[in-house]
Amino acid sequence: MGNGDSPAQVELIIPCRPEFVGVARLVMLGVASRMRFSYDEVEDIRLAVGEACTTSVEWAERNRRSDSTIVLRSEITPDKLTVDIIDTAGSRKDEADSSDDQDKEDLGALLITLLVDEIKIEPGPDGTRVRMVKHVGQR
């Protein structure tokens, strides 16, 4: 980071649609690369954020909310990266999903828990807020 160790924030707003998830991943790659993470850890962060955005996109499709958005907010401090993924994709209430959809989502959730150090999911009626934290130099 250019300015010593002072905290920094990077924020991105994308449409909650499949073709924009790659944009979120690119930004996370850029952000995580500026921190003291190993190559593998940077990849972990990219994948975890990609998975969280994918889940948002899938719920937006299910809830027919094509105009919803994802706010991706990263906070960079010397010892950790905190990423909030906040969508307006509607409620995540299950209604007779196909088992395939469920499997895919479980896999996404599993990946996230394996890739980051902390994960918190706050579902709301209008959308979901996911917070993930990755500490520097944990492994």
User: Which positions touch another protein (CB under 8 A)?
Assistant: 18-19, 21-22, 25, 40, 43, 46-47, 50-51, 54, 57-58, 100, 103-105, 107-108, 110-111, 114-115
Q: How far is the CB of 23 from another protein (least distance, A)?
A: 10
Give whichever of 25 and 92 is closer to another protein, judged by the CB atom. 25
* Closest CB 132 distance from another protein, rounded Å: 15
Q: Where are the beta strands (DSSP E) in the chain?
A: 8-15, 69-76, 80-87, 118-123, 128-135
Judged by CB, which is closer to another protein: 50, or 90?
50
> Of the two residues 7 and 18, which places its CB atom closer to another protein in the complex?
18
Question: What are the phi and psi torsion angles at 96 (to 5°)?
Answer: 40, 55
